[in-house]
Amino acid sequence: MSNINPGWTQEELKIYLLLYSANADLLESEEELDLIRAKTGTSDFEKIHTEFKGDNDFQSIKKIQSATRAHGYTKKDIAGLLSEMKEVFLSDGKYDLLEQNLFRMLKHILN
């Protein structure tokens, strides 16, 4: 099992969250990945993407919770992250039921 306390920077957490969002419908579109790269502009994308692909859903949720707590995000910070996640959901022109459900779940987990 991979480390549940990943020790990510805020930028790495953001990349992971956006990748998690992009995979809500089990398909990573190029539009979604391009948007994530543009929003993060960091060389950590490939490292975090590889880590994400190796994690199961339980690990992903635990890592997100742990990293969010470790950084002490405020309600305003979380609202900003949720807004960026919604952009990823909409970047391929669809906002299907799986994406809507994941958004609600992440909103609940992060708040």
Residue in this structure with the two tokens 């990510």, named with its chain if needed:
8
What percent of the chain clears pLDDT 90, i.e. is strictly above it? 69
H-helix segments, the chain = 10-22, 30-40, 45-54, 57-71, 75-90, 97-110
Domain ranges of the chain: 10-110
At residue 2, the pLDDT reads 52
User: Do 57 and 20 touch, CB atoms closer than 8 A?
Assistant: no
Q: What is the pLDDT of residues 51-103, one digit of tens each?
A: 999 999 999 999 999 998 899 889 999 999 999 999 999 988 889 999 999 99
At residue 85, the pLDDT reads 93
Per-residue pLDDT band at 111 (split at 50, 70, 90): confident
Q: Cβ–Cβ contacts within 10 Å for residue 26, how many?
A: 6
At residue 26, the pLDDT reads 86
For the full predicted model, state whether its pTM sits above 0.75: yes
Residue 6, H or E segment: none
Measured in whole angstroms, the distance separating CA 45 from the mean position of its chain's CA atoms is 12
At residue 1, the pLDDT reads 45
